[in-house]
Structure 1
Amino acid sequence: MARSRLDLNPDEAEEEIRRVASALCNRGTRARLARLITTEIKSYTPHDLMQIAAALRREIERLPPLYRKAYQQSAQEQIFGTHHRILLMEREGRIETLPGEIPDPALFTTFCLMMEEACLAPGQSGDAHMAPMGRLLYYLLSCFLIFILFESAHPIGTPFPGGMKVELKGGVVCCPVREKEDDVPYALCRFCPAHQS
């Protein structure tokens, strides 16, 4: 039985996160990057995914009721929907046929460095999705969306406080908080292909 990635001790988790970040930086093509991400997400056990889902549900339960339901659907899609899409693409043989290089290598390198720093940042909660290895899964899935599929980090329909949400307008994904990257440490905004709405 595979060892839980969430059960790694702090030193093991740090070593693993640094290894993955370094390996990501050294992938020049979309196919090679997608293969690496697929391998890494498959190393999370079903129990790891259940722990992350439970922790996410607990966090969402603390949100205001009107915001809670819509956000829960988007969060589930962002994490578990993306996880499923990657595995399906692998089963269908679409990972190996992804054409081209990773766009904007300098931006991608910045993403890899930010991911490592974010995963290793002190003061993260003990909940599975906020622990270093839980955060690594989140950033790997986001990396796939942004740099492989060229999609927004948050699914269309993701709500934000104030009644705003990610929308598709004329074939362009628009996000109401796209330009707020400086307000949130380790935000995906600067890497996301969405436009400010």
Structure 2
Amino acid sequence: MTDPERSKIESIVARMAGAAHKGDLGTIVAEEILKYSVLELQVIGGRLNLEIEQLPAHYRHKIRSYFRDQIFGAHHMLLSRYRKGIFLKCSDPFRDPELFLSYCQMIPDGCMAWDEDTWKNPEIWSPKHRLFYYLIAAYTMFVEDLPGHPVGMPFPGGQVVEKQGEEYYCPIRDKEKDVFFSICNFCPARQTD
């Protein structure tokens, strides 16, 4: 028996994987993001806030705005560019087409890999909400060629995501190799020395 949520996610991912260039992908991601209701966006924001609140206080205050920017700042930029027709004029190739396809292949399993029963309200959280995160990251990393985590985002130990010239550096870029569903494995940033 096939899980209907997984089938829907696989269909969306197949559409993404068929994108010929960055403009196609930007359009596809924006069209999928526009299908999320205000309630679903509130649930996603609420979950993000809950995860932030569980962090140690000294770190929570430093990172809060970066997490929100990573998700909702990118959401705003994506929809703004879509509505302005920018993606229709863009036929730039993907920086690394094979990496992009690997990312697409990971998404369905990544959406299903979480045990949501540990969350306070598992009945209102679904793999579709996790897909939102992967859609936003696809836009950020493969359309904009930006790191998955915003520049300036701090990590425990004091290091931050940095831009040096045209290159991005992240202190955790290569630290997530064992977590198959981590966006870090597909990020255009290089590992900070």
Give yes or no for TM over 0.5. Answer: yes
1:79 shift after superposition: 0.5
Partners of 1:186 and 1:87 in 2: CA distance: 25
2:189 maps to which residue? 194
**Equivalent residue for 1:138?**
133
Provide Cα deviations, 1:119-161, integer angstroms capped at 9, x if missing partner.
Answer: 1225245567973111101001100111111111100111211
- Structure-2 change in CA distance of 1:130 and 1:147 (3 Å): farther
Q: Output the TM-score relative to the length of structure 2.
A: 0.89
Equivalent-residue separation in structure 2 for 1:89 and 1:23 (angstroms): 20
Say whether 1:26 aligns with 2:21. Answer: no
The answer to whether the 8 A contact 2:106-2:180 is kept is no
1:11 aligns to what?
3
- 1:89-145 deviation per Cα after TM superposition (whole angstroms, max 9, x unaligned): 012221111122223222111100111110122524556797311110100110011
Of 74-83 and 53-62, deviating more is 53-62
Does residue 1:70 correspond to 2:65, yes or no? no
4+ residue runs over 4 A deviation: 125-130
Q: 1:104 to 1:173 in 2, by over 3 A?
A: closer
Counterpart AA for 1:69: H
Please give the alpha-carbon distance, in whole angstroms, between the structure 1 residues aligned to 2:90 and 2:147: 18
**Which runs of 5 or more structure 2 residues have no equivalent in the other structure?**
none
What CA RMSD, in Å, does the superposition of the two structures yield over aligned residues?
Answer: 2.0
Q: Distance in 1 between matches of 2:177 and 2:110?
A: 14
Partner of 2:170: 175
1:113 alignment partner in structure 2: 105
Number of aligned residue pairs: 188
Separation in 1, partners of 2:159, 2:129: 27
- CA 1:196–1:35 in 2, change beyond 3 Å: closer, same or farther? same
Deviates more, 1:124-133 or 1:183-192: 124-133
- Whether the 8 Å contact between 2:23 and 2:91 is mirrored in structure 1 is yes
**Aligned partners of 2:114, 2:43: CA distance in 1, in Å?**
21
Query: How many Å separate the matches in 1 of 2:38 and 2:155?
Result: 30
1:58 maps to a residue whose letter is L
Which ranges of structure 1 fall in alignment gaps of 5 or more residues?
1-9
DSSP 3-state at the match of 2:174: helix
- Give the structure-1-normalised TM-score: 0.87
Q: Which amino acid aligns with 1:168?
A: K
CA contact (8 A) 1:124 1:132 kept: no
1:83 aligned counterpart, secondary structure: helix
